[in-house]
């Protein structure tokens, strides 16, 4: 079934206000979806971020291990 913009416009003119609102929301969704697909992420920009987050994660894990070891010792002595 071939749909032309003219036939689509004619169909839209026959819609109720509520239906028009739903069409408008769908069109907004299609535009949003199209924009999302065009966003390209440069892997070269992600590598430094991954390294930075890995270092932060490692530091947090190490600081958390000290607390964990203390809790284990306290638990043993109870």
- In degrees, rounded to 5, the angle at the alpha carbon of residue 74 between the alpha carbons of residues 72 and 76 is 70
- Determine the pLDDT at residue 31: 93
Confidence of residue 76 (pLDDT cuts 50, 70, 90): confident
- Determine the pLDDT at residue 64: 74
- pTM of the predicted structure, to 2 decimals: 0.44
Could you tell me the sign of the dihedral formed by the alpha carbons of 43, 49, 54, 57, in that order?
A: negative
Query: CB–CB of 48/59 below 8 Å?
Result: no
- Determine the pLDDT at residue 22: 97
Could you tell me the sign of the dihedral formed by the alpha carbons of 26, 29, 35, 39, in that order?
A: negative
pLDDT tens digits for 18-52? 999 999 999 999 999 888 776 678 888 888 888 88
Contacts of 20 (CB under 8 A, 6+ apart): 12
Residue 62 clears pLDDT 70, i.e. is over it: yes
36 vs 75, higher pLDDT: 75
């Amino acid at each position: 079934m071939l749909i032309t913009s003219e036939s689509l416009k004619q169909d839209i003119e026959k819609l109720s206000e509520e239906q028009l609102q739903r069409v408008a929301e769908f069109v907004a969704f299609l535009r949003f979806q199209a924009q999302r697909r065009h966003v390209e992420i440069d892997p070269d920009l992600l590598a430094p971020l991954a390294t930075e987050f890995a270092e932060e994660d490692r530091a947090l894990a190490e600081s958390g291990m000290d607390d964990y070891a203390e809790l284990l010792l306290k638990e043993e002595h109870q």
